[in-house]
Structure 1
Amino acid sequence: MDSSRTTFDSTFDAIVVGTGPGGASTGRELARSGARVLFLEQGDAAPIAGTLTQMAARAAVPGKGAFLHRDLSLLVRALTTGGTSTINFATAAPPPAALFAAHGIDLAPALDAWHAELPLGPLPDTLVGPMAARIMDAARSLGQDWHKLDKMIRPAACRSGCWRCVYGCPFGAKWSARELVDDAVKAGAVLQARARVTRLLVREGRAAGVDAVVDGRPRSFPAPLVVLAAGGIGSPRLLAASGLMDGPAAFFSDPVVAVMGSVDGIEDGGKEVPMAAGMHHGADGIAYADLTLPGPMYQAFAAQAGRFDRLFAHAHTLSIMVKIRDEVGGRIGPRWVDKTLQPPDRRKFDQGIGLARAVLERAGARHIFASHHFAAHPGGSVAIGERVGSDLQTAVPGLYVCDASVIPGPWGLPPTLTLLCLGRRLGWQLAGIDQKQY
C-alpha cells in the first residue's frame, strides 16, 4: 500500500473518501471496471501488528478515533486503512432485508457474490474456546437459541488462543476491508493514506472533487465522481463542512454492555475468538454473544464499573455482550458527538442484562457485574430516504455516500456485511454492471 505519495501524475475518474467496507468495496468494483480511482484515507496504512498500542492509537484517542460524552461512555471508530473492520470481531450478520426493501433496495445479488468470495461461516468446534462453549451450554440449558455465529475468519489461518481479534489480526486469519483496497490497487487504483479531507467540492451544481490535507500540505483533487465513505460520524461532518447538510444529524450507535462473572474450572482463559456464539431477539431489539476480551481491555471494563476487586480475575471470568437496537437521536457536531439513552433503550438494557445474569449464574458464575455502555456502530446520520436516495446519491449529482451513515434505521447488529453489500451494489451501479447477472 502506498501511504506516502503526495504528487500525482494523472487525473482520476473517481475519488473514494474512506476505506472501510463500504468505500473499499465500491472502489474495488470501479477499479476493476477500468476507472482511475483514488482512495483518500485519513488514517495510516501500516501493517497490522496486533498490539494494544497500535489499536489504541487508531481507535481510542478521544476526539480522533473515540468520543467521550454524556451517558454514552465511549463511541469507537478506527482511523486506518480498512476502517473499523481491522479491529472488529469479524461477525458477519446478514443485512436487514426488510429495512432496505422498504426503499426498493435488493441486496441479495451482492450478498450472494460475497458468499462466493469471502470466508463466511461459523467457526469449527476447535476454534470455539472454553469460555464461549461454557456460556453456550448454559444458555441452551435455559432454553435459549444460542448458536454459533457466522464469522469472517479463515479457520486454517486462525491461531487458537491468539486473542488478538480486537487488536487487529497480524496473521491474515481475520478478513478486513484492507484486502479489497489491495485488490483495487492491483487493478490500478491509488491509495493515499494520512489524507484528511476537509471539503467536498461542487462546481456548476455537480461533484467536482475534494480538498484535503496530505502530510500537512493542503491539496485539491479534482474528479467528476466522489464516493463519501468516512463513516457514520465522518460523513455527515464532511457534508456539513461543505455546506451540504440541511440541519443537524442524529444517529444510532448500537450501545453495548458487558456482563461478567467469575467461574471455577477455567484458570487460563481469555485467549479465544470473541463472539463465537450468541443469539438475536429481533422483536426485542437485543443481541447477545460471548465477549472474551484481552486482559488489559477486561481490566479497563472492571475499573470502569468500579470493580477493582475483579481486576486480576480475567483468566477465569466469563463475559456476555448485551447489544441493543437504540433509538435514533443525539447530534453530531463539528468536533463532538452527543447522544443519551432514551427510556426504551434503558428498558432493553435492563431486560438484556437480566438474561445475561441468568445465563452466567447457570454457568456457575459469581461476582457478576455489568460495565457501563459503549458503542462502535454509529450510523443512520445520512439515511437512505432522508439525505440520499436508494441509489445512495446525494442532492448533488456525482456525490454518493456509502457507509453506515446511510443505513435507513437501527437494527442492532454488526453492519460490516451490510456495508459490503451496499458498496458492491453501488460499484456495480456506477460501473454500469447489471447485478442480475450475479
Structure 2
Amino acid sequence: MKNVIVVGSGAGGATVARELAINGINVTLLEKGDIIPVDKAHQCYENLDIGVELLKTSCFGGTTLVTAGNAVRSSQKVFEEMGIRLNREFDEVEDDLGVGVLPDTHFGEGTLKIMDASSSLGLTMSKMPKSINPKECIPCGKCAFGCPRNAKWSSLNYLEEAEKLGIKININSPVTRIITSNGHVTGVRSHDHEYSADIVILCAGAIETPRLLRSTGIKAGEHLFVDTFVTVGGVLREIDFYKELSMNALYIGDGFILSPHYSSLLTSRFEKQGFHEKDVLGMMVKIKDENSGYVGEELVVKNNTPQDVGLLAEGSALAGAILTEAGVDPGTIISTPARGAHPGGTAAIGEVVDNNLETKIKGLFVCDASVFPQAPGAPPVLTILALAKRLGKHISNK
C-alpha cells in the first residue's frame, strides 16, 4: 500500500488527503499551525509586506477559514489549453460544497445598491456563487474573520471526513526539508523527526512550497503573483454595509473583477472625519497581476508593474463611478493601499511540475496555487479543490 504524506491542511491538502483516504490509501497530513476555533481564525493571520501587503494565515484548515466563501471556476480555460480538463472535478466539488447563489434574504441594502447602480451604467453584475449554507448563515460581515456559525465551507469539512476514513493528522509539525534518494522522494523532516513516504504532496502555499522544493535542488519561487487588490469606498450615511455578507456579487472586467467589499482600512480613515463604519460603502478591485514577484529564502518581493497599476486605476475608476451612482458622496471616495490575497505561480505547471503536478523528483507532487501558470484574477479556491481531486484520482490509479 502506498504511504503518502500531505504537507498543509488548506484547500489543496485537505482535498487530496480526503480523496486518497476514500480510495483506501495510507495518508499522514502534517500542518505547521495549530487547531483553533473557527471564529478565532483572524488571530492566525501572518501577513507579509512584500511590496504589497500579502494576506495569509497559518492554522489547521489554512486560509479557507477566512475566505469569503466565493466559489467560481477560475482559470478553467487556462488549464484546458494546457490539456488539464477539470469539468468532472468541478462538478463533484460544487456538489460537495453545495455551491450556488444565495437567496434574496442574504443580500443587504448596500450590495443591492451596487448591483442596481451597475445595471444603470450598463454593466452586468451577477450574484457570486458561494459555498455557504444559507440556512446556517446570518449575514454579519465576519467571513474574513472566521465564520462564527460554521455556515461557510472550509477545509475542516474535508479533514473531518478524511480523519474518520483513517488519515493521521499531526498539527504543529512544520516541514523543513524534503528527503530524496536517487531521484525519488523518500520522506520529509519535521522538527527532529523524519517521516518516510512513497509519495509527498506539497500543499503549503505559494510562499512555503517553493522553499521546500529548493531543499531538493529544484528551481522554484519565481513568477509570483498575488491577485493584487484594493478596496474603493466612500460615505453613504446609515448604509450598515459592514454587516453584510462580503463579495456577494461579481462584475468581470478585462483583467480585473469588481465586487462589493467592506474594509476596516477605509473606516479608520473616515472615523477621523466624524463618520462611522455604518456610513461606508465599498467595492473590491481585484486585478490579474503579472507574475513579477519572487520568493527567496528570507525575502519575498512583489511590486506592481505598470500594467498592474493601469488595471488598478481602470478598475478603481469604474468602482468609483458605480459607488457614485449608488449614492455615495463622490467627494469622499478613497482607496486602500494595494494588497494581495491569492499568492501563486511559484511552482508553475510546465516549469516546475508536469500536467499531473509531479516534479522531476519521482513521487514529489505540488497541489496548491503554486502550480497556477498565471494569476486567476478571481477567487482560486474552487479550482485548487478541483486540481486536488484530479491529483487524488491520479495517485490512486497509479
Q: Please, what TM-score do these two structures have when normalized by structure 2?
A: 0.96
Let me know the Cα RMSD of the aligned residues.
Answer: 1.7
Asked if structure 2 preserves the Cα contact closer than 8 Å seen for 1:105 and 1:390, the reply is yes
The alignment status of 1:211 with 2:183, answered yes or no, reads no
Residue correspondence of structure 1 range 154-303 to structure 2 within 5 A = 154-160=133-139, 162-213=140-191, 218-240=192-214, 242-246=215-219, 248-264=221-237, 266=239, 268-281=240-253, 284-293=254-263, 298=264, 300-303=265-268
Distance 2:119 2:286 in 1: 19
The alignment status of 1:419 with 2:384, answered yes or no, reads yes
Shift of 1:311: 7.1
Distance 1:307 1:339 in 2: 29
Distance 1:151 1:413 in 2: 13
Asked if structure 2 preserves the Cα contact closer than 8 Å seen for 1:261 and 1:317, the reply is yes
Q: Which residue of 2 aligns with 1:320?
A: 283
Asked if structure 1 preserves the Cα contact closer than 8 Å seen for 2:57 and 2:63, the reply is yes
Q: Which residue of 2 aligns with 1:409?
A: 374
Amino acid at match of 1:325: K
Q: Give the one of 56, 60, 80 matched to 2:59.
A: 80
The alignment status of 1:430 with 2:395, answered yes or no, reads yes
Identity %: 36
The alignment status of 1:15 with 2:5, answered yes or no, reads yes
Asked if structure 2 preserves the Cα contact closer than 8 Å seen for 1:302 and 1:311, the reply is no
The alignment status of 1:34 with 2:24, answered yes or no, reads yes
Shift of 1:430: 0.6
Asked if structure 2 preserves the Cα contact closer than 8 Å seen for 1:264 and 1:364, the reply is no
Q: Which residue of 1 aligns with 2:311?
A: 348
Shift of 1:359: 0.6
Q: What SS class does the counterpart of residue 100 from structure 2 fall into?
A: strand
Asked if structure 2 preserves the Cα contact closer than 8 Å seen for 1:92 and 1:414, the reply is yes
Q: Which residue of 2 aligns with 1:384?
A: 349
Shift of 1:245: 2.5
> Aligned pair in 2 of structure 1 residues 381, 248: CA closer, same or farther (>3 Å)?
closer
> Aligned pair in 2 of structure 1 residues 248, 150: CA closer, same or farther (>3 Å)?
closer
Q: What SS class does the counterpart of residue 207 from structure 1 fall into?
A: strand
Asked if structure 1 preserves the Cα contact closer than 8 Å seen for 2:227 and 2:286, the reply is yes
Shift of 1:432: 1.1
Shift of 1:170: 2.8
Distance 1:46 1:168 in 2: 10
Asked if structure 2 preserves the Cα contact closer than 8 Å seen for 1:302 and 1:371, the reply is no
Runs of at least 5 residues in structure 2 that lack an aligned partner in the other structure: none
Distance 2:274 2:335 in 1: 14
Runs of at least 5 residues in structure 1 that lack an aligned partner in the other structure: 1-10, 60-64, 434-438
Shift of 1:95: 3.4
Aligned residues: 396
Asked if structure 2 preserves the Cα contact closer than 8 Å seen for 1:131 and 1:270, the reply is no
Distance 1:416 1:105 in 2: 17
Residue correspondence of structure 1 range 330-369 to structure 2 within 5 A = 330-366=293-329, 367-369=332-334
> Aligned pair in 2 of structure 1 residues 95, 402: CA closer, same or farther (>3 Å)?
same
Amino acid at match of 1:135: I
Q: What SS class does the counterpart of residue 339 from structure 2 fall into?
A: coil
Amino acid at match of 1:90: G
The alignment status of 1:89 with 2:68, answered yes or no, reads yes
Asked if structure 1 preserves the Cα contact closer than 8 Å seen for 2:267 and 2:280, the reply is no
Q: Please, what TM-score do these two structures have when normalized by structure 1?
A: 0.87
Q: What SS class does the counterpart of residue 318 from structure 1 fall into?
A: strand
Shift of 1:264: 3.2
- Which 4+ runs in 1 deviate beyond 3 A? 300-303
Distance 2:273 2:98 in 1: 37
Asked if structure 2 preserves the Cα contact closer than 8 Å seen for 1:13 and 1:36, the reply is yes
Q: Which residue of 1 aligns with 2:92?
A: 113
Shift of 1:337: 0.7
Distance 1:17 1:176 in 2: 17
Distance 1:361 1:95 in 2: 29
TM-superposition CA deviations, 1:222-267 (whole Å, max 9, x none): 1111000001111001112x1332265221111010001111352x
